[in-house]
Chain A
Amino acid sequence: MQFTGRRRKLTVHPQNELYGHCLQLYGQPPLENISLSEFETFAVERLKLLKTVENLGVSFVKMSEQYSKKLHAEISGLNFPFRPEVVRECSTGPSEYEKRRKDHISHFILRLAYCQTEDLRRWFIQQEMDLFRHRFTDLLPKYKTEFLHRNNLKYDTVRLYWKRLMLISTFALVQVPFQDALDLVRTRKVFLQGGYAYIPHQDIVTIVLNDFRTRLSKALALTARSLPAVQSDERLQPLLNHLSHAYVGQDYSIQKNIGKVSLEQIDALSAKSFPLCMRQLHKALRDSHHLRHGGRMQYGLFLKGIGLTLEQALQFWRSEFIRGKVDADKFDKAYAYSIRHMFGKEGKRTDYTPYSCMKVILSNPPSQGDYHGCPFRHSDPELLKQKLQSYKLSPSGIIQILDLVKGMHYQLACQKYFELTHNIEDAGFSLNHPNQYFMESQKLLSGGKDIKKEVEMPQKVQENAAANGASVQPQPNTTQAEEEMGDLDSYFLDE
């Protein structure tokens, strides 16, 4: 392994072997002491990286050239390790060793922040996997092999011939139980025999990723159990909380406008301030007096997010469904339960959060008879065009939207829709949540009061920081942490 010879630091590295490869599976947690400031910086920078991974993943086809180039730029810009063969003698900037150390430590810090709920875990695993896939695929074959050896990922290699004398491969194939290669099995991209999948070496990344996911999933579950001990550390708790909320910016589960929206306003609001997906759902509900489960969840939670109370929601859905084929009795028996469930008043009593754009775009695609999902993602482009025309959007604007849709930039398309329907040049925010759309729209229409002051999150952090300052002996590190925490928002507000 090549390392830069001379360093500014004179530390001898018995841990050299720890970071002997630029890529790792994060099997061992870091054992050293670090300062609070390094703790924060590392965490924040990795989070930036993961958010970039997420955004690129919706804007571009994963692993395409554009995707890889942009991701690579972000990785090197943030001083995370990448291609080992490019290690140069650098007089400025962190060394390769330092980058690998940061990679290692930052991953484990984020585990602390993202292990607590199912949603957070899923998001974290998804981004880490995409990041890993990119970095692994980027490696030269010899480094790939080295990686496999270092991590004891020995798969049986065989040579195999198809039946009927057709040759599969003269190159070595890797043999794994089919359960470890489901993505390849599902799409018939791999030869199966006797319950084993035979994979060409170049597809080995799929197997490694499966492994990666399983390990990380288990590790997060374990981490969650030891979390209370970590959270009791007053220095870390505010930061960790802020980190986990930062992944959506807000999750809109804390409504400040509870009860401020009346049912009579909804029709008008749907045309003025709802994103297209919710406008579509509202219209479908009014037209057919019914929505299927996917639609009820997506729309129902959105309404909760804009401030509807449980009583209002029950009244809203009930009056609409009764106009359809559902009688009052049936509604109370069948549907009321699920609405209360949404508000956390039944069953597991989880207070469900409204769906983010990511969730709407990526999960539960609509089928025949469904109106949920993201119209920019799930509607036939012709139908989308007609709908936009019926809303009297300008032809040039519609073309811009359709172009963005073609390029798979669904959230940008929705942003464009926002700009066109509100008659402004620039939305001024990066859309990632339907409730954010609503809030921004309302803000705009009510004269553009500075909404930043109303945002709950940073206040909470600042309150905690203040409390910390008061109750804990002032230490140089703590004060520094407080100051930097104030700046944390700026990392996340512009994307």
Chain B
Amino acid sequence: MSTSDYDPACLPDLLPLYYRRLFPFSQYYRWLSYGGVTKNYFLNREFSFTLKDDIYVRYQSFSTQNELEKEMQKMNPYKIDIGAVYSHRPSQHNTVKSGTFQALEKELVFDIDMTDYDDVRSCCSAADICSKCWTLMTIAIRILDRALRDDFGFQHLLWVYSGRRGVHCWVCDEAARKLSVAARSAVAEYLSLVKGGEETVKKVVLSDPIHPFISQSLSVVERYFPQYALVGQDLLSSKESVDKVLSLLPEDILCHSLHDLLNLYQTEKNPLKRWDKLKAVVHHKRATSKKGGQYFEKEIMLQYCYPRLDVNVSKGVNHLLKSPFSVHPKTGRISVPIDLRNLDKFDPFEVPTISLICEELDKPRAGEEEEDDTKDKENETDPGERRKIRDYKRTSLAKYIKMFDQFLDAMARSRKGEMLKKSDLQKEF
């Protein structure tokens, strides 16, 4: 069982164990050093910790992996956030001449939070999630991942479960890390289709010509819409929910079709067929409408399904975001990478909690001892180190760390490729 009865009160006991034996420090350091290409990249990176009793400390920085490990094992942070790479060591920012301490680089990040969809999901609200509304995250990941890769040319994307009700995306390409505030905000706006707050009823408006990005996003949405929205979210099941959908139609079309739509509600009970019939009624009335409303069905689907991202999170170079492999104090779940090759199978409720993996630590698995002895001889590792390496491997965390390793390997290959290209150009042999 993945949840393994997580109790937030146990966190003070579990965290030391987690940081001593499970947290993947070497992979973490490997990630944030980015191959050591830029000097002091790790040294100048800001971390922030939330400690017991909500004590929050910013501008933490470390010069080596060892320093990071020791500090984290000492402080046992409840939450870890990653910030930007600055011009100077963040821990010494007060000693730097005012105005010269600046955020230079950071990954391009996106934060998709389920609460931003509260107006369009009927199964849950606020911090709750369920398997039904989780589809919204699946849709978001598919749409954004494609756009970031195909449209913007980014290659190294790390999608992470936030631990409770959303997902984060870390775009780690060098070009992404060097983006200015203006560029980040432009990318985020390019990706935004749902606009408006409390007072706005109709949050998606499409006009000609439809940009290919929108068409492509629509094809993803259309794939999931019937099962997710019509069936799962009961979009057209109750009078109330039907009214909500109808409120997105243009005024005049609505007026003219009210009778037909009411009729539809009474005669057709199958939600999928209701949607088809609704579309038919509106199409029919469209001819007489002045405003057009030609994309109403697409607009409805997008309003109910299209990713909602917080532009402010993506804009700031110095914005702090929850770190991968951080624990979520309320749910106990580890922020693990999401495997996009098996995206539809991802279940947030199967993500290991800190209590589960700590429990798994103490349970040896059969045949493990001999296997490791042979490995040690091959790799010349000593038993102490071996034990450390072995630790996370015997827990449910293993597969996620492996995913992370593969992500890091891909970046390393990329860097190597770049260096070869450069040396070719310079004709170095």
Interface residues of A (CB under 8 A from B): 162-164, 166, 178-179, 182-183, 185-188, 191-196, 347-348, 368
Contact = CB atoms under 8 A, between A and B. Distances in A.
A-B residue pairs, 6 tightest by C-beta: A195-B153, A192-B151, A186-B186, A182-B186, A194-B153, A186-B189
Interface in B224-260: none
A195 B175 contact: yes
Nearest to B99: A348
Identify whether the interface residues of B are mostly helix, strand, loop, or mixed: helix
Interface stretch (B177-185, B271-279, B281-289, B416-424): B177-185
Given A162-B212, A179-B179, A194 B150 contact: yes
Contacts of B150: 193-194
A195 B154 CA distance: 7
B172 to A, nearest CB: 15
Contacts of A179: 179-180, 183
B190 interface: yes
A186 B190 contact: yes
A458 B213 CA distance: 57
A121 B196 CA distance: 34
A186 B179 CA distance: 14
20 contacts: A162-B212, A163-B212, A163-B216, A164-B215, A178-B152, A182-B182, A182-B183, A185-B186, A185-B187, A186-B185, A187-B189, A188-B211, A188-B214, A191-B211, A192-B151, A193-B153, A194-B150, A194-B151, A196-B153, A347-B98
B384 interface: no
B197 interface: yes
A194 B153 CA distance: 4
A348 B189 CA distance: 33
Contacts of A163: 212, 216
Contacts of B187: 185
Nearest to A183: B186
A162 B175 CA distance: 25
A193 B152 CA distance: 6
Given A179-B183, A182-B183, A185-B186, A195 B152 contact: yes
Identify whether the interface residues of A are mostly helix, strand, loop, or mixed: mixed
Interface in B335-392: none
Given A163-B212, A186-B185, A368-B197, A192 B152 contact: yes
A478 to B, nearest CB: 39
Given A195-B154, A195-B175, A348-B98, A188 B213 contact: yes
Contacts of A368: 197
Contacts of A164: 212, 215
Contacts of A187: 189
A263 B123 CA distance: 56
Nearest to B189: A186
Contacts of B152: 178, 192, 195
Interface of B: 98-99, 150-154, 175, 179-180, 182-183, 185-187, 189-190, 197, 211-216
Contacts of B185: 186
Nearest to B154: A195
A160 to B, nearest CB: 11
A294 B175 CA distance: 33
B225 to A, nearest CB: 20
B151 A193 contact: yes
Contacts of A178: 152-153, 183
Nearest to B149: A194
A207 to B, nearest CB: 14
A178 B191 CA distance: 14
Nearest to B191: A188
Contacts of A195: 151-154, 175
A182 B188 CA distance: 11
A202 B185 CA distance: 25
Nearest to B185: A186
A187 B214 CA distance: 12
A185 B179 contact: no
A188 B209 CA distance: 11
Nearest to B184: A182
Contacts of A196: 153
Contacts of A191: 211-212
B153 A185 contact: no
A178 B152 CA distance: 7
A179 to B, nearest CB: 5
Given A163-B212, A196-B153, A185 B99 contact: no
A186 B187 CA distance: 6
A164 B219 CA distance: 12
Contacts of B212: 162-164, 166, 191
A297 to B, nearest CB: 19
Nearest to A163: B212
Contacts of B179: 179
Contacts of A192: 151-152, 190, 213
Contact of A185 (B98, B190, B214): B190
A315 B237 CA distance: 60
Contacts of B182: 182
A217 to B, nearest CB: 12
Contacts of A182: 182-183, 186
Nearest to B180: A179
Contacts of B186: 182-183, 185-186
A178 B184 CA distance: 11
A34 B216 CA distance: 60
A191 B150 CA distance: 11
A376 B53 CA distance: 48
A347 B179 CA distance: 28
A475 to B, nearest CB: 42
Nearest to A350: B99
Contacts of A185: 186-187, 190
B234 to A, nearest CB: 31
Contacts of A348: 98-99
B143 to A, nearest CB: 14
Contacts of A166: 212
A186 B190 CA distance: 5
A185 B152 CA distance: 10
A6 B71 CA distance: 81
A411 to B, nearest CB: 28
Contacts of B180: 179
A348 B212 CA distance: 47
A398 B427 CA distance: 74
A341 B124 CA distance: 46
Contacts of A188: 190, 211, 213-214
Given A178-B183, A179-B179, 14 more contacts: A179-B183, A182-B182, A185-B190, A186-B186, A188-B211, A191-B211, A192-B152, A193-B151, A195-B151, A195-B154, A195-B175, A196-B153, A348-B98, A348-B99
A450 to B, nearest CB: 42
Contacts of B183: 178-179, 182
Nearest to A187: B189
Contacts of B151: 192-195
A212 to B, nearest CB: 16
A348 B99 CA distance: 7
Contacts of A183: 186
Query: Of A183, A185, A348, which is in contact with the most chain B CB atoms at under 10 Å from its CB?
Result: A185
A163 B146 CA distance: 14
